[in-house]
Amino acid sequence: MATRIGASTIALTSAPRILASAAVVGKKEGEGPLGKAFDAVFEDVTMGEPSWEKAESALQKEAFRLALRKGNCTPEDVQCLFAGDLLDQCTASAFGMRESGVPLLGQYGACSTMAQTLSMAALAVDSGAVELAAAVTSSHFCSAERQFRFPLTYGGQRTPTAQWTATASGCVLVKPMDKGVAVRALTVGRIVDMGITDANNMGAAMAPAAADTIRRYLEDTGTVPSDYDAVFTGDLAYCGSALLKELLARDGITLGDTHFDCGLMLFDRQRQDVHAGGSGCGCAASVLCGHILPKMARGELKNILFIATGALMSVTTSKQGESIPGIAHLLHLTVG
Amino acid sequence: MATRIGASTIALTSAPRILASAAVVGKKEGEGPLGKAFDAVFEDVTMGEPSWEKAESALQKEAFRLALRKGNCTPEDVQCLFAGDLLDQCTASAFGMRESGVPLLGQYGACSTMAQTLSMAALAVDSGAVELAAAVTSSHFCSAERQFRFPLTYGGQRTPTAQWTATASGCVLVKPMDKGVAVRALTVGRIVDMGITDANNMGAAMAPAAADTIRRYLEDTGTVPSDYDAVFTGDLAYCGSALLKELLARDGITLGDTHFDCGLMLFDRQRQDVHAGGSGCGCAASVLCGHILPKMARGELKNILFIATGALMSVTTSKQGESIPGIAHLLHLTVG
């Protein structure tokens, strides 16, 4: 049974728990600062498949398989799967989960999708009707470049504000349990569009939405960022993170040394030439599943906020001169 | 609080109710058999906008506005909006709802999205945390043709099995109430892919998924189709409907005279030259919101099943020779 706190935060009174999580990444992500944290690093990012799109589906399938193995479950145990990705018509998820036989609800929140799928899985379990729910998202640098920018072989130049789409997938299993990492509350994001039209500066387009959601959650709960061990955003990267701090500061909210951004954590920005940092549905997903949740399970973090951010444009809307609507969904996770 | 019935059906014990619904359609849909049922018929399907994509967003915005007006609500009253459409990155929804300021969770289930958004809205309200949720979907013939097939000006020939994407949008508001149409139960669909690769025969690709979901629901509840006043599918159209009956008959399940398909209801197939019938996220949505729910509110139907079906492919996956994964989500609605 869920209850509402303040204007727009949902408290999950049964506090559904994370049974297991898994993160799989590509070669570049494996060479990054969190390289050792992931369950699998694929040197061959084709995953042995004939297209980048099929490679992304394979990545998602593998994250789901590993999460099930770590949770000692089978696909038949999963009553509801919330899945999403960046591809047109969310096909990385549809084809990745096609053979699973699991009831599927496709989710689209661009790079915010990991927070959205986990919110939905937690709400479904909290409702009492679902004993085991899964949340999975993915992105692939090569399928995203082809779809949103240029075919790789074109060799297009990247601007300094551009972000690097992560080749990664993360999967979380949620279950009613007495112990473990719990989903305590969530705040659903609303669209904020400040008129940014530069599709190579997603951080700037998403930061106002992150500020809006964080502000609403803090108001609803009467807390401040320093009440939490850490506040993780994803994927604002370099430009968006600076902008978020500035926007919150205007409202007297200080995001201090305990703020981390998944887009800045996944890659070493200077060494790995990713410009402003990482992005993609797989970025926040792999950092959550490979780094944050295991750290919580080990008791190194006990009380955190996870806010994934998305840019809800398409190639068509950008070509039509439209600005980029941003969105951000927030989860409050605790241990104990 | 929800409970599980059988293997995969979710019973919503608080039975969240439909506060209001609205359906808006284009000229051709207005000329169809249900023409008088809709809240608005737009003779000019550009909606005064400079692109078909913006026209679709305008259609969705209008359905949301009219549902709010009929429910005597404001956007501020809506705590959670579940929205979806067929466009790449679900932009008809993102741009249609951009100015609403409502917490948004984008859903993707292709033409099954109306059943998916309504399931999510009902589950959110049933959880106790949300006082008013909305579900909205849309499609537009011209934006869909351009994206999935050919630009209209190309004048491509349509095959006899092809379906006509509806220019339509439907919106439902869900609230905890004592009276009115109630969402009693839902069965989440799983992907069924029988290897159909013809993107001009969606009915055949989706029928096996509809059969799977209906079969699971009937098993879970120990009921038969004749226990219901009507069984509505959408959008299997002519080919898919025949195939669904055949598939269910193999399992000894008879879909009799009380089976209706939204794709066959929206248009007069012969007179309006729509070949196999209607389709699109707006087809099942406008038939549900303009015809089925009002009929239930008037007491003409009291106990029905609504099963919307989707084909989860994209242009890219079809070009890569992939088959079409189908999905179908089911809702049990009652009055009283």
Question: B80 contacts in A (CB within 8 Å)?
Answer: 188
Q: Are A332 and A258 in contact (CB under 8 A)?
A: no
Between chains, do B129 and A10 touch, taking CB under 8 Å as contact? yes
Question: What is the DSSP code (8-state) at residue B190?
Answer: B
Distance between CA atoms of residues A10 and A43, nearest Å: 41
Q: Are B135 and B288 in contact (CB under 8 A)?
A: no
Contacts of B81 (CB under 8 A, 6+ apart): B64, B97, B100, B102, B103, B104, B105, B133, B134, B135, B136
The last residue of one of the domains, among A120, A140, A175, is A175
Whether B52 contacts chain A with CB within 8 A: no
Buried-state track B27-36, b at ≥16 Cβ within 10 A, e below 16: ebbbebbbbe
Between chains, do A316 and B79 touch, taking CB under 8 Å as contact? no
B126 and B189, same domain (yes or no)? no
- For the stretch B181-233, pLDDT in tens is 999 999 999 999 999 999 889 999 999 999 999 999 999 999 999 999 999 99
Distance between CA atoms of residues B161 and B110, nearest Å: 18
Tokens 């389709």 identify what position? Answer: B279
The residue in chain A having the minimum alpha-carbon distance to the alpha carbon of residue B111 is A89
B31 and B152, same domain (yes or no)? yes
B117 and B241, same domain (yes or no)? no
Least Cα distance to B146 among B86, B82, B65 occurs for B86
Under the banding of pLDDT at 50, 70 and 90, the label for residue A294 is very high
Least Cα distance to A82 among A57, A112, A119 occurs for A119
Tokens 């439907």 identify what position? Answer: B170
pLDDT of residue A6: 92
A149 and A202, same domain (yes or no)? no
In a domain, residue B8? The reply is no
Q: What is the mean pLDDT of residues A262-273?
A: 96
In chain B, residues 236-265 whose CB comes closer than 8 Å to chain A:
none
In a domain, residue A73? The reply is yes
Q: How far is B36 from chain A (nearest CA, A)?
A: 32
Distance between CA atoms of residues B141 and B29, nearest Å: 11
In a domain, residue A7? The reply is no
Between chains, do A325 and B51 touch, taking CB under 8 Å as contact? no
Return the percentage of chain A with pLDDT > 90, whole number. Answer: 94
pLDDT of residue A62: 98
B58 and B148, same domain (yes or no)? yes
Q: What is the mean pLDDT of residues A292-297?
A: 98
In chain A, residues 137-166 whose CB comes closer than 8 Å to chain B:
147
pLDDT of residue B188: 98
Query: Residue A150 half-sphere exposure, CB side, CA atoms within 13 Å?
Result: 8
Between chains, do A320 and B51 touch, taking CB under 8 Å as contact? yes
Q: Are B119 and B127 in contact (CB under 8 A)?
A: no
In a domain, residue B248? The reply is yes
Q: What is the mean pLDDT of residues B26-51?
A: 98
A88 and A131, same domain (yes or no)? yes
Q: What is the mean pLDDT of residues B1-6?
A: 90
pLDDT of residue B86: 97
B89 and B156, same domain (yes or no)? yes
ipTM score: 0.97
Q: Are B308 and B135 in contact (CB under 8 A)?
A: no
Beta-bridge mates of residue A48: none
Q: What is the mean pLDDT of residues A140-144?
A: 96
Least Cα distance to B205 among B240, B231, B164 occurs for B240
In a domain, residue A5? The reply is no
A165 and A93, same domain (yes or no)? yes
The last residue of one of the domains, among A143, A175, A207, is A175
Q: What is the mean pLDDT of residues B4-15?
A: 93
In a domain, residue A8? The reply is no
Distance between CA atoms of residues B257 and B241, nearest Å: 12
C-alpha of B96 from chain center? 18
Q: Report residue B210 as tokens.
A: 């509809």
Using only the alpha carbons of chain B, give its radius of gyration: 18
Instruction: Give the domain extent around A273.
Output: 181-335
Distance between CA atoms of residues A115 and A66, nearest Å: 20
A293 and A330, same domain (yes or no)? yes
Q: Is B303 a residue whose pLDDT tops 90?
A: yes
pLDDT of residue B199: 87
In chain A, residues 100-129 whose CB comes closer than 8 Å to chain B:
100-110, 116, 119-120, 123-124, 126-129
Strands (E), A142-267: 164-165, 168-175, 181-187, 230-234, 259-261
A155 and A222, same domain (yes or no)? no
Question: B98 contacts in A (CB within 8 Å)?
Answer: 191, 193, 325
Whether B186 contacts chain A with CB within 8 A: no
Total domains in chain B come to: 2
Task: Give the CATH number for residue B171.
Answer: 3.40.47.40
Least Cα distance to B96 among B130, B52, B64, B143 occurs for B64
B187 and B330, same domain (yes or no)? yes
Q: Is A157 a residue whose pLDDT tops 90?
A: no
In a domain, residue B11? The reply is no
Between chains, do B314 and A97 touch, taking CB under 8 Å as contact? no
**Mean pLDDT across chain B, nearest whole number?**
96
In a domain, residue B211? The reply is yes
Between chains, do B313 and A94 touch, taking CB under 8 Å as contact? yes
Question: B325 contacts in A (CB within 8 Å)?
Answer: 94-95, 98
Q: Which of B87, B119, B190 sits opposite A101 (nearest CB)?
A: B190
Q: Which of A103, A191, A317 sits opposite B8 (nearest CB)?
A: A103
Distance between CA atoms of residues A300 and A229, nearest Å: 9
Distance between CA atoms of residues B179 and B19, nearest Å: 9
pLDDT of residue A155: 85
B163 and B290, same domain (yes or no)? no
Q: What is the mean pLDDT of residues B17-30?
A: 98
Distance between CA atoms of residues B94 and B104, nearest Å: 9
Between chains, do B191 and A124 touch, taking CB under 8 Å as contact? no
**Mean pLDDT across chain A, nearest whole number?**
96
- For the stretch B168-185, pLDDT in tens is 999 999 999 999 999 999
Contacts of B240 (CB under 8 A, 6+ apart): B202, B203, B204, B206, B207, B210, B233, B261, B263, B276, B309
Distance between CA atoms of residues B307 and B328, nearest Å: 6
Least Cα distance to A192 among A208, A213, A215, A214 occurs for A208
Least Cα distance to A165 among A241, A324, A52 occurs for A52
Question: A90 contacts in B (CB within 8 Å)?
Answer: 108, 312
The residue in chain B having the minimum alpha-carbon distance to the alpha carbon of residue A190 is B103
The last residue of one of the domains, among A155, A175, A195, is A175
Alpha helices in chain B (DSSP H): 27-30, 52-70, 91-96, 113-126, 141-148, 202-221, 237-250, 262-265, 281-287, 293-297, 315-319
